[in-house]
Chains A and B, each alone.
Chain A
Amino acid sequence: MGDRNVVRGFGERTPLLPSQRVLYQPDASIEVQYTLNTSTENKGIGNRYRRSVPYIETSGRYQNQEEEEDEEDPKLLEEHKVLSARFQTLDYDTCENELYQREEKSKGYRFLVKKNLARWLVMGLIGILTGIVASGIDYFIDLLSQLKYKLITDYINKCINNSCLSIPFVLFVSLNAGAVLIASILVAYVEPQAGGSGIPQIKCYLNGVKIPRVVRIKTLVSKCIGVVFSVVGGLAVGKEGPMIHSGAVIAAGISQGRSATFNKDFRVFEYFRTDHEKRDFVSGGAAAGVSAAFGAPVGGVLFSLEEGASYWNQSLTWRIFFASFISTFTLNVVLSYVKGHPWDLSNPGLINFGEFNSVTYNGVEIPIFLMIGAIGGLFGALFNMINHKLSVFRMRHVYRKSTKVVEAMIVAGITAMIAFVLMYFITDCSPLGNDPTEHPVQFFCSDGEFNGLAALFFQTPEASVKSLFHDPNNSYQPLTLSVFFLVYFCLSIWTYGLAVSSGLFIPALLTGAAWGRLVGIFLAQIFPNQGWVDPGKYALLGAAAQLGGVVRMTISLTVIITEATGNLSLGLPIMLVLMMAKWVGDYFNEGIYDIHIQLMAVPMIQWEPPPLSSNVLACEVMSHPVTTFRTVEKVGRIREKLEKETHHGFPVVDEYDPDADDNTTFGVFKGLILRDQLLVLLENKVFKDPHGNPCNTTKLSSKDFRNQYPRFPDIKQINISVHERECTMDLRPFMNPSPYTVSDRASLPRIFKLFRGLGLRHIVVINDTHQVVGMVTRKDLARYRLEHVGGELKLEEMDITHS
């Protein structure tokens, strides 16, 4: 029936899935695949055959699902090749049940206007609060780090003459480790979701995955305090990434008009208490965060567009833009007061690349830009590869809370140690006067000079980036820059993924600026007296290349960097550099955020369906069998199923006998009901006794469902008496009567596009006679993942784990 041949990557018409199925078998030959004759006539045969191969070999994996116990997988799981079942999807689709229709009819036009105005108001508030939080972070980081640097500088200057350098050394190391101790305790013990930059989490949220606790106020507080201490602790981190997360949390908090943590309900914005509205506001909050972090309102909007919001509309974009601008404006005003020049609006973002007004470029430089982009891609890929390995190691071996804290402290201590040792042994002296730092450290330089390396290490990373961009041409010697680049590159790899809240942008920019400036100095040697050779400009492009190589963002990053430099004429070079960096980097691996999302085992849906998968049909993708409820269902059965299954959506059907054996279809499809709705119904006991009389008179409205949002009760908390189990529940008024369905012949790309475009959570698969045969959820789709390694593509199917 088929030929045995060896699969070589990607590009054959043969579906790639079967060979990957074989992969699950530990001792099966990986490279073997049965080529199928997939002409239309005998497609059915092809499919049948295809399935039978792995089915026989893999013991029980595709056997019928009635067995409940889990089977231990003999081989070690690859951390990035599993999906976790604990992640739920947001309900982006509105449930248009009878209650909803009734409510909408009663509200009318006035309500619509009010709701729209409220949307603008909330967006404005999001902008203002994000700006204020950003200024607060900035202020405290400045304050604390100035104190720290001043103390250490004083000690060094005193000790350099008195042979007591070990005192500032130990002081430096322990101050940094102490600050990071606070930062990592906040993450490890208080709120693990506050760790890292938060961009992967927000990316997932905007993609439609509900990451537990990611938009809680506790997360916000840990994140903000944590980032202050991790930056003050001298780690190779920035405060920009966490701003995006903070903006998102603020948005989620304000739009709900209440705090579940403090159990306080302000009784406003009740109509925004749905996943749909919340996610829209969160995309505004993320944009406001970007905007405050980089002074890049347009970049913020594009960030939300690029990273999230599969479902996008013009008026939402306009509101997000508003939030972005308000946020950068607020930051600007608050910082102008903090810095003592009220209303001198010169601080649009936390990081400011300074003025690049006079910098232009020459046509002959374009090949050089492309080269810089390629270098950035290579370095970025290297960064991602090493960080990936390290993260896997951390997941396997450094997973206890206490060891996480110790690790963070060790990294902080070593960072300080390296800085100190470098300053100690490399004497790169420049005359004082145009000193870039507030605390020039002399070390072993003559009086009247300062140590160049100390200048780079003894200020916050943001300030160092600025120095590399703008300091006069001869401020740094090539040796200093090379050493600094190497050290900082390694440190930033080591640091990302620690249990502290930390941004990745600044370390990447700083590393890139260091090697970019080296390139600039090198070019100045080759082409002396050329007007266009400006190390500062090359530092900027190097920074862009490095960042692009690591995060692989495209349009939003280009705009963010262009806005942060305030120079549109460098827009094209920046874009070229980022494009090259992405292409070169993508040849080797994925962006760092995607890698970390995979490690988190989040079922993320990519932009595009896997290519050449159109012969993978719905019946293969879907989950089967399906737990369905009849339109009038017994309470006992509902309760039992909710306890047993973790599913979230249940088709409501007619003409179905649940007790029959060996069902292949599950009744005629009528609608869809969600777990949350069932829980609310059970809690309110909307039952009818066996004679058809209502047990109580409570009449539920949409508001009752919204009031529980987002923390619904657990099924175990709901008490249902033996008597009540015999009652029935009429699900018809509460179910969504017209959810999206597909035919069992629909292809994977088609289903994928529906999910991506409409932000779906469930799609019901029905056959020609309108009977339910399966359900497709996000995990069913996300388990197909395209792997590209070294230019070869292959489609893999992932396992799903409980944790």
Chain B
Amino acid sequence: MAKLTRVVNSAQEFSIFLFVCSFYFVGYYPALCIESKFNYMGNDTIYSISVNGIPGSSNDEDTWTGLEQGEHSVYVDFYKYFGSQLASHLTSLESSATVSGSVDLVQDKILPRCKAFLDLFGIAASKFTSCAITNGRPMRFCERCVADYQITRDRYEEIEKDDYHDTTTGMTCKDLLLNADRIMIIQHAKQFVENLWEKSHCNSCFAHFEYNKTTSAVTFQYDNRTLEFRKRLMQTEKCMNITEDLILSHVNKSACEVCQPDYNDLNEYYSGIEETQKHKVCMDIADAMNMTRLRWSKTFKCTKKHRDVVPVLLLTVFFTFMPVMFYIGSKIHGVREERKIMKQKRMKTVVSSMDSST
């Protein structure tokens, strides 16, 4: 027991550990039990966490308005919250498990310590997944799920770093959880999380982010470019929101010119980011830019294109004439001197040798 404090080092987390331990005694994982557990989680806990977890996320108009420059510290009260909630439902769970009448196999029992790892990771991963899906559109994935992402990673790392050998089996939790079977659910879950993060180039949104074990908090700092982009985006949005009715109702093209400077400014700044980050722009930013562009050109129809056909056509005709002239010219002028055929040395007749042979 003493060793476990290394992993579960805050009071809040200890409560969940208790819950987990009791879970272990119940003997779980029959289908019914899992179902009830997931129902329970899906109904209120996860939801409340995703709302409370990150400041500003409750503001559904435009989340970015609630953010200002500088460092953001997010206190993740999830585990405290979750732990106490779970503990209070412990008894109901226990009863449901007995009701299901599952067979309590010896092999189903794993070390409480490993079980704790498993559950902590499971909760973190599912919370990340949920966060990713709910923030998929409009895309605010990177900014809103950074805490969950970091915690998931951290939980996984803890499993990986585990080197406490169990006295009876001699196995570490790492062996038991990561290398024991061929499905490797935990690795796959981890991979999924990492892939999502990688593909969205989320890292380029942030200057840095880290998870502090002692305070159970994820601190992160936005990249300066992200903040600057956001500022300009908001300005453009503001302008567009004001002029939207004007443009849509009157189809007055001159209204486009009101926001044109802001829009151009934003576009240029975005191109700058693309340039410096070598096309690995954080998806939140890329998507916001795309949406603004689409709104600008599709809804507002403000994109003006000048098809200066005449000079292009003239040039085309000019260029087309060049090969025609060239080939006609070379056909007329350049006729290569014919090559001379060399006389081959051949036997005049083969009669003599042939006659001698027959």
Contacts and interface: CB of A to CB of B under 8 A. Distances in A.
Given A64-B348, A399-B334, A406-B326, A44 B355 contact: yes
Interface in B100-156: none
Contacts of A448: 289-294, 296-297
A173 interface: yes
A799 B341 contact: yes
B347 to A, nearest CB: 4
A67 B345 CA distance: 10
Contacts, number: 177
Nearest to B338: A77
Contacts of B297: 446-448
Counting contact residues on chain A (CB < 8 A from B), the size range is 35 or more
A165 B311 contact: yes
B344 A414 contact: no
Interface residues of B, number: 56
A82 B341 CA distance: 8
Nearest to B350: A619
Interface string A392-429: 01011111100100110011011001001100100000
Interface in A671-724: none
A52 B351 CA distance: 10
Nearest to B313: A421
B315 A170 contact: yes
Given A163-B306, A414-B320, A417-B316, A802 B336 contact: no
A399 B334 CA distance: 8
Interface string B314-344: 0110011011001100110111101111111
B213 interface: no
Pick from B287, B294, B343 the residue with the most CB of A within 10 Å: B343
B304 interface: yes
A62 B336 contact: no
B342 A802 contact: yes
A432 interface: yes
Given A48-B354, A623-B345, A166 B303 contact: no
A76 B347 CA distance: 26
Nearest to A400: B334
B183 interface: no
B286 interface: yes
Given A165-B311, A623-B345, A397 B306 contact: no
Nearest to A157: B271
A444 interface: yes
Given A62-B348, A395-B336, A169 B343 contact: no
A162 interface: yes
Contacts of A619: 347, 350, 353-354
A802 B339 CA distance: 7
A397 B336 contact: yes
B298 A446 contact: yes
A420 B319 CA distance: 12
Contact of B305 (A42, A72, A160, A744): A160
Contact of A413 (B311, B322, B339, B355): B322
Given A161-B305, A166-B312, A398-B334, A70 B343 contact: yes
A101 interface: no
B190 to A, nearest CB: 21
A757 interface: no
Given A399-B334, A399-B336, A623-B344, A48 B350 contact: yes
Contacts of A169: 311-312, 315
A620 B350 contact: yes
B307 interface: yes
B165 interface: no
A800 B342 contact: yes
Contacts of A444: 305, 307
Nearest to B263: A447
B276 interface: no
Interface string A607-648: 000000000010110111100000000000000000000000
B279 interface: yes
Contact of A165 (B294, B308, B352): B308
Pick from A433, A447, A745 the residue with the most CB of B within 10 Å: A447
A160 B312 CA distance: 12
B290 to A, nearest CB: 5
B306 A624 contact: no
B279 A801 contact: no
Nearest to B322: A410
Interface in A716-735: none
B307 A432 contact: no
B302 to A, nearest CB: 9
6 contacts: A44-B355, A166-B315, A393-B331, A396-B334, A410-B326, A801-B340
Interface of B: 267, 279, 286-287, 289-294, 296-298, 303-308, 311-312, 315-316, 319-320, 322-323, 326-327, 330-331, 333-336, 338-358
Given A67-B343, A619-B354, 14 more contacts: A44-B355, A55-B349, A63-B348, A82-B339, A397-B333, A410-B322, A414-B320, A417-B319, A432-B290, A446-B293, A446-B303, A619-B347, A624-B347, A799-B341
The 7 closest A-B pairs by CB, nearest first: A448-B293, A446-B297, A447-B293, A166-B311, A44-B354, A624-B347, A44-B358
